[in-house]
């Protein structure tokens, strides 16, 4: 095939397992199920897949294992990221770049994990696990651990406190994010958490790391998602309405070399979006006002507030009101996390947010469908200084 940009590629299929707290099967089995489902969704044989991309922190099933398990005829492109949720969109972008440059014809980005029954992020031994992955430099844990920051909730709590001190953000603002995600999840058959939540429920949940309560924190989930990318021209002839990849961005601030403590360096409670957003929209040839929805990486409620501001949908300090006033609802100004997000659908390390965006742009999201959805933003990276993002379109 000829050379092209990202917008010469499309998502032609998505697949996923059930989302649970105890899958009863291996991470490899989960990945195989999701990839088989994505191929079936696109209407192609699994043997036509010739590229694989994945990511994870000690708990994924690597591309070489999956290529064998899938019985692929050839593997023309592969990539295994040793990274977290900040590359959920980057994995899809990597797949699209491989297709656009002719490295492969059909590339699947996938994520599989037993995040509840297996390696629990932020659970016992988290800091020790991270320090052995080479993801953190040897210097970081000794500084973080000695001041009591041993898990992501504690780290992001510090970032949220800075936003509160600078802009007057409150726990009611955080609660509004959690409640909006739960309201959307109630309409999503895939979601782990569909029970209605009100402010009293939120305030009754225990503190995890102030200002975060339990309901400010994403779920711990077992499951897998897969996103099948091929050329736009080919996708048009396959089973589903294709979703075009209009643009993507991966990167962040120069101070994002580390994972945790370098995020404290800024003065203005900003995240990676300040570095990526303008170019992301410009390359897609669209504006922020054109977006019909946004799936914002919600590892914690505060992450959504930071991204809403830094992607330019509202001014600094105004994101809490955006949620409290209902502007992020399914009928609102910008529906956000329409499937429930990581807070209420599942924590499949962000790739489930891409699946939800595809559902919306195909127009098959059922009771949670955003009317006439044609353009959507998906992000990965929370409130950190590194991340990735996609703009997807229905045509």
Can you read off the two tokens belonging to residue 266?
């800024």
Residue 259's H or E segment, with its range, is none
| pLDDT at site 2 | 41
Task: Please determine, for residue 134, whether its predicted confidence score (pLDDT) is greater than 60.
Answer: no
Is 347 assigned a catalytic role? yes
Q: Which residues are within 8 A (CB) of 10 and not within 5 positions of it... i.e. 6 or more apart?
A: 229, 230, 231, 232, 235, 236, 242, 243, 244, 245
Give all domains of the chain, ordered by start, each with its CATH number: 6-118+220-235 (3.40.47.10)
Spatial separation of the C-alpha atoms in residues 255 and 264, rounded to whole Å: 10
Structural contact between residues 89 and 349, judged by C-beta atoms closer than 8 angstroms: no
Task: Please determine, for residue 261, whether its predicted confidence score (pLDDT) is greater than 70.
Answer: no
284-330, pLDDT tens digit by residue?
Answer: 999 999 999 999 999 999 999 999 999 999 999 999 999 999 999 99
Helix then strand count (H, E) for the chain reads 14, 11
Spatial separation of the C-alpha atoms in residues 45 and 363, rounded to whole Å: 25
Is 81 assigned a catalytic role? no
72-118, pLDDT tens digit by residue?
Answer: 999 999 999 988 899 999 999 999 999 999 999 999 999 999 999 98
Task: Please determine, for residue 62, whether its predicted confidence score (pLDDT) is greater than 60.
Answer: yes
User: HSE of 75 in the Cβ direction (CA atoms, 13 Å)?
Assistant: 15
| pLDDT at site 243 | 98
Minimum mean pLDDT among 128-132, 179-183, 364-368, 372-376: which range? 128-132
Mean pLDDT confidence for 42-66: 95
Marked catalytic residue, from 19, 77, 297, 302: 297
Minimum mean pLDDT among 14-28, 117-131, 188-202, 350-364: which range? 117-131
CB environment 229-259: b (16+ within 10 A), e (fewer): bbbbebbeebebbbbbbbbbbbbbbeebebb
Q: Global pTM?
A: 0.95
């Amino acid at each position: 095939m000829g050379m092209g940009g990202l917008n010469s590629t499309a998502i032609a299929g998505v697949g996923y397992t059930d989302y649970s707290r105890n899958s009863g099967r291996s991470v490899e089995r989960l990945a195989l199920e999701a990839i088989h489902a994505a191929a079936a969704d696109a209407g192609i044989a699994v043997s036509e897949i010739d590229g694989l991309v994945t990511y994870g922190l000690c708990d994924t099933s690597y591309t070489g294992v999956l290529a064998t398990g899938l019985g692929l005829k050839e593997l023309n492109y592969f990539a295994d990221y040793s990274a977290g949720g900040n590359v959920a969109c980057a994995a899809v972008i990597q797949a699209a770049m491989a297709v656009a440059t002719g490295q492969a014809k059909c590339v699947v980005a996938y994520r599989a994990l037993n995040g509840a029954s297996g390696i629990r992020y932020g659970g016992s031994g988290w800091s020790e696990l991270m320090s052995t992955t080479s993801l953190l430099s040897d210097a970081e844990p000794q500084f973080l651990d000695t001041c009591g920051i041993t898990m992501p909730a504690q780290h992001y709590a510090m970032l949220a406190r800075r936003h509160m001190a600078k802009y007057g953000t409150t726990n009611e603002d955080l609660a509004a994010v959690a409640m909006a995600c739960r309201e959307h999840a109630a309409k999503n058959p895939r979601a782990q958490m569909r029970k209605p939540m009100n402010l009293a429920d939120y305030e009754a949940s225990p503190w995890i790391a102030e200002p975060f309560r339990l309901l400010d924190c994403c779920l711990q989930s077992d499951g897998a998602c897969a996103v099948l990318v091929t050329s736009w021209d080919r996708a048009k002839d396959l089973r589903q309405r294709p979703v075009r990849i209009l643009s993507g961005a991966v990167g962040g601030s120069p101070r994002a070399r580390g994972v945790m403590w370098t995020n404290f360096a800024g003065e203005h409670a900003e995240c990676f979006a300040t570095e990526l957003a303008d170019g992301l929209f410009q390359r897609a040839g669209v504006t922020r006002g054109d977006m019909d929805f946004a799936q914002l990486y919600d590892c914690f409620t505060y992450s959504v507030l930071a991204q809403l501001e830094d992607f330019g949908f509202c001014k600094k300090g105004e994101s809490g009101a955006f949620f409290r006033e209902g502007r992020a609802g399914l009928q609102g100004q910008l529906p956000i996390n329409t499937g429930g997000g990581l807070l209420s659908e599942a924590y499949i390390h962000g790739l489930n947010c891409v699946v939800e965006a595809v559902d919306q742009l195909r127009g098959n999201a059922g009771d949670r469908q955003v009317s006439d959805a044609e353009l959507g933003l998906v992000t990965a990276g929370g409130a950190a200084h590194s991340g990735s993002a996609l703009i997807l379109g229905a045509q």
